Structure 1
Amino acid sequence: MTTRDPLHSVPEYQRKTGKKGCTLKIAILVLILWLITVMLYQTHKPLPPFVSYESQEYSTHEVNFWTDLTYPTGDGSTAQHEGQILNRMLGIIDEAQQFIVIDLFLFNDYKHKGQRFPQVSAQMTDHLIAKKKAHPDMPIFFITDEVNTNYNSAPNPLLENMKRAGIQVVQTDVDPLRDSTPIYSAVWRTFFQWFGQQGTGWIPNLMASDGPDVTARSYLKLLNVKANHRKLVANEQTALISTGNVHDASAYHSNVALEVKGPIIGDILQTEQAVLDFSGGGQLPAYTPQAEPKVPSNKDSYRIKYLTEGKVYTSVLDGIAQTKKGDSIHMGMFYLADRKVLNSLLDASARGVNIQLLLDPNENAFGQEKIGIPNRPVAQELSDKSGGNIQIRWYHTTHEQFHTKLIYIAKAQGEHIIWGGSTNLTPRNLDDLNLENELWVAAPADSKLTRQVAAYFDKLWNNQGAEYSLDLAAYEDHSTFWKDIIYRLQDILGFTTF
């Protein structure tokens, strides 16, 4: 009796189909392993040199505080705007004798149809071009984010005008930074990045309907949600670290800025040179510290440090952790969402620290309505978990944003601590993902700066002269449960702009 080979009993087409199916499974498995590898590497890869930087500590006798405020008038029908920051930025350009270095996230005049804003970006462009014409040998560097070219869909006329005038315009290459949306970015890096973004745009511009149309490849790049989010204007004498952009649609936002002089400028330039190094932007001019003039012995003395990216995270968490009963924490914040920061605030409240949070209601984004994420679910959580001990108010926005990022810790004993700059308290801004910049200041309790910052918060919190802020209940929302779910899913998956 003969036995039959079972393989010969399988029809030829079935054997071929089985082999194809096996090959497909192997290919899918290899692709999955590849994407996982890309995700792991791109979220843990070494950062470029001088990214996530903390300067040494310096002493200075002068830190200036500047503010922009928009608030409703008495009858609520119109809004009043008081601005100092742009004028000071233009002043720094005028005063420059050796060089100018500017790094701004948003810098364009794009807007939605029907909107009108002050032409602040053109104003700065004209100022810089006039400076270059008057001083053709002066190095002027303008560093910005690719959002201003709609991710290379179309040239930005303002930036092109600067280039023609001889100003060194550098568009930041954010690809060397770690990925903040790793699942998507792994797919983008594998399949789409090789095609670039340039071309004829054909998709409506969702960021500004009056702006140029956008290519599909540019939208694919945008979805990585990575940015050079810094805000800096510096010359050889002084540096201004701001929370605000020079951007027409942001012209009415409420912001703050801190300005410093002295050798810390060298550290600031080093962090900007790092951006140029991985963006192909050339060499900044050499900086020589200038001798600080003699000052009276009774003048205020401040300790300062310059922080970028993840070093801001460490500094803020350490500062909150060191607070004790009798201390006070005051925050003015556009976005508050980082879990470690939230837990540290709850712990501080439990220790008896007085906490006041003045938050943007996350209602407006350049004329478009938002749904209150992340601040509204976060505010409700902090209020509930602290038993109401963490006090929260909303800035009374009209059609603009409370775009401030300012932290002030008033110590019962010792120096008061201040942080101000580009950094929202969110994972994207804190965890070495975006490029960010911040000034840390330790100030005597009776110093000019401390009095200014304390008066700023007191004015807005207690509505001195206008209705700057509203009670927590003003944005009470019965759909907070669903917003909380959306917020947490966005936070976990990274598919978010905050």
Structure 2
Amino acid sequence: MANKIKKSQKKKSNSVKRKKKNNKKKNKFQKKHLLWIVCLLVVLVIVVSIFHVFKNLPHGVSKISSETKTNHVELLTDVTYKSGNKMHYEHEIFDKVNETINEANDFIIMDMFLFNNYKTGDKTYPNITHRLTQSLIAKKKENPNIRIIVITDPINSFYGSYTPRNIKALKANNIDVHYTDLSKLRDSNPIYSGTYRTFFQWFGNSENGKLNNPLSSEGPDVTVRGYLKILNMKANHRKTLVTEKHGMVLSSNPHDPSGYHQNVGVRVTGPIQNAIIKSEIAVANMSGAQYSASDFKINNNSWRDDATYSVQLATEGKIKEQILKNIKKSQSKDRISIGMFYLSDRDVINELIKASKRNVQIKLILDINKEAFGKEKPGVPNKPVASELVNRSKGNIKVKWALSNGEQFHSKYLLFEQHENKNAAMILGSSNLTRRNIEDYNLETDIIIKGKQDDEAFTKLSQNFNKAWDNKKYTITAQYDEFKDESLWKRVLYRIQEKTGLSSF
């Protein structure tokens, strides 16, 4: 009997040992397969990340138009400054935008990055959004046959979390509105976007958000999916308007909290309008529309060889090519005057330093980068970049800071003036001088205008810059030393953010 019990116990023991051994094998097998799955997913994310950084751009993106001539270039400026305790706002851009809309008869194509009136805090702002929305609606009511196309960035809906009031009003009046399909663009923040595209993009969005809106305290609640999309850090950053009569390229947004910002823009007439139409129809079609640029006919399609100005349209990476081309050809005693919200692109910085060593006279007015969307910023990228420009050029590059009372120095322009032949060129529009803006990631539109320094548009821009630089009548800018910051951590932060795309600039 004892032997039977021992045999039974031995069998049970062997059975337990076999089970443990089998379980170990099973667990080892499962861990091995789990590891393989994790490795495959990591590889997949890396492949997706790399592909969407280098993939082909959508049709019509990153283009430069042929050079055409015109006598009609109106430079527009929004200037903000403080005198004593009083603020002064010498703004003309959106008056001209609304005038251009009111004058249209056949079509209006408008592409604007920020187009909403949601604000943060209790500060009062100009009613830019409402006024522009009503101008478009009034024109549609006056002329039901006019074709009106509005293109904007999905940030205005927080990427599908809600529909802004002004967009609802436009759609209710049979105006075509298109949110840009940003997924078609390259990814500037691949460390995040590869993961987003692999796992999260498939979930879409819905207008039932429960989370606080990070862009506006009075904006509607937003969704988790909206937060996941904004971290891709990509945008249709363009600011254009074109009708059969005029074309406009701006640095300013029809966005109430941006209403006091300093900006520049131009209104042009002539064949350059066709380039704007073609460029914007490409963005609309990329986003699901089916328009033909040939259906939009302008009034003045001819030009004379002796016209005052030569004009070209440049978008995305072609903007950078034109900027570098103009810096490189600048010679001793030529002048480069730059007004810029963000400056961080390494190629532009290096070419400016090289130009300073050729005795090119370079002056920059930069935003201090202390605020964006109501959030405090540490002065990056402009402060470390300004330090580099001043120090590496041994003081030959001069920098001043645009003084701010809550608004931004949001202008984006470069003015090139040649010493010998008095030729001039300006490049201005939506594009900051950053990797994201001028290396084929964001959608951007700038215009290149060439002529003589005493032509009206160049005279106005030069006077506007010099008035801010000299502070003869009002104090508009501060000396570099007043706000300089040469801290190592900001230099390191800027370089990491610029290289990786883990930033808002």
- Which category describes the TM-score, using the shorter chain as reference length? over 0.9
Among candidates 440, 443, 450, match of residue 448 of structure 2 = 440
Q: Does 1:56 align with 2:66?
A: yes
Among candidates 279, 282, 287, match of residue 274 of structure 1 = 282
- Decide whether aligned partners of structure 1 residues 154 and 360 sit closer, same or farther in structure 2, where only a CA change above 3 A counts: same
Q: Compute the TM-score of the two structures, normalised by the length of structure 2.
A: 0.93
Partner Cα distance (1:288, 1:429) in 2 = 30
Partner Cα distance (1:178, 1:364) in 2 = 27
The structural deviation recorded for 1:291 is: 4.1
Partner Cα distance (2:253, 2:365) in 1 = 20
- Deviations 1:331-355 (Å, cap 9, x if unpaired)? 0000000011100111111111110
If you compute each CA radius of gyration, which structure gives the higher value, 1 or 2? 2
- Comparing 336-345 with 114-123, greater Cα deviation is found at 114-123
% identical aligned pairs: 38
Q: Does 1:287 align with 2:296?
A: yes
Q: Does 1:311 align with 2:318?
A: yes
Q: Does 1:399 align with 2:399?
A: no
Instruction: Indicate conservation of the 8 Å contact 1:197/1:221, yes or no.
Output: no
Please name the residue that 1:4 is paired with. none
Paired residue total = 487
Q: Which amino acid aligns with 1:474?
A: E
Name the SS of the counterpart of 1:11 in structure 2.
Answer: helix
**1:154-193 equivalences in 2 (<5 Å):** 154-193=162-201
- Comparing 251-260 with 21-30, greater Cα deviation is found at 21-30
Please name the residue that 2:3 is paired with. none
Partner Cα distance (1:317, 1:277) in 2 = 30
Partner Cα distance (2:272, 2:32) in 1 = 62
Please name the residue that 2:356 is paired with. 349
- Decide whether aligned partners of structure 1 residues 403 and 143 sit closer, same or farther in structure 2, where only a CA change above 3 A counts: same
Please name the residue that 1:320 is paired with. 327
Instruction: Indicate conservation of the 8 Å contact 2:107/2:296, yes or no.
Output: no
Q: Which amino acid aligns with 2:51?
A: Y
The structural deviation recorded for 1:280 is: 1.1
Instruction: Indicate conservation of the 8 Å contact 2:316/2:438, yes or no.
Output: yes
Partner Cα distance (2:263, 2:146) in 1 = 30
Instruction: Indicate conservation of the 8 Å contact 2:270/2:303, yes or no.
Output: no
Instruction: Indicate conservation of the 8 Å contact 2:384/2:485, yes or no.
Output: no
- Deviations 1:278-337 (Å, cap 9, x if unpaired)? 111342562334347899x9x861111000001001111111111111111100000000
Instruction: Indicate conservation of the 8 Å contact 1:405/1:423, yes or no.
Output: yes
Name the SS of the counterpart of 1:30 in structure 2.
Answer: helix
Name the SS of the counterpart of 2:399 in structure 1.
Answer: strand
Structure 2: segments with no counterpart, 5+ residues: 1-17
The structural deviation recorded for 1:102 is: 0.6
- Comparing 486-495 with 276-285, greater Cα deviation is found at 276-285
Please name the residue that 1:389 is paired with. 396
**1:42-81 equivalences in 2 (<5 Å):** 42-73=52-83, 75=84, 77-81=85-89
Instruction: Indicate conservation of the 8 Å contact 2:387/2:485, yes or no.
Output: no
Partner Cα distance (1:351, 1:246) in 2 = 41
Name the SS of the counterpart of 1:27 in structure 2.
Answer: helix
**1:213-232 equivalences in 2 (<5 Å):** 213-232=221-240
Partner Cα distance (1:370, 1:116) in 2 = 22
Partner Cα distance (1:423, 1:491) in 2 = 15
Instruction: Indicate conservation of the 8 Å contact 2:78/2:90, yes or no.
Output: yes
Q: Does 1:123 align with 2:131?
A: yes
Name the SS of the counterpart of 1:438 in structure 2.
Answer: strand
Partner Cα distance (1:273, 1:292) in 2 = 18
Q: Does 1:247 align with 2:255?
A: yes
- Deviations 1:155-178 (Å, cap 9, x if unpaired)? 111011011111111111110000
Q: Does 1:466 align with 2:474?
A: yes
Partner Cα distance (2:94, 2:168) in 1 = 21
- Deviations 1:219-269 (Å, cap 9, x if unpaired)? 000100111000011111111100000100000000010111111111111
- Comparing 275-284 with 203-212, greater Cα deviation is found at 275-284
Partner Cα distance (2:112, 2:80) in 1 = 21
C-alpha RMSD over aligned residues: 1.8
Instruction: Indicate conservation of the 8 Å contact 1:367/1:399, yes or no.
Output: no
Name the SS of the counterpart of 2:414 in structure 1.
Answer: strand
- Comparing 424-433 with 105-114, greater Cα deviation is found at 105-114
Q: Does 1:141 align with 2:165?
A: no
Q: Which amino acid aligns with 1:449?
A: A
Structure 1: segments with no counterpart, 5+ residues: 1-7
Q: Does 1:194 align with 2:193?
A: no
Instruction: Indicate conservation of the 8 Å contact 1:300/1:447, yes or no.
Output: no
Name the SS of the counterpart of 2:183 in structure 1.
Answer: coil
Q: Which amino acid aligns with 1:288?
A: K
Partner Cα distance (1:421, 1:398) in 2 = 24
Q: Which amino acid aligns with 1:140?
A: I
Partner Cα distance (2:175, 2:327) in 1 = 42
Q: Which amino acid aligns with 2:378?
A: I
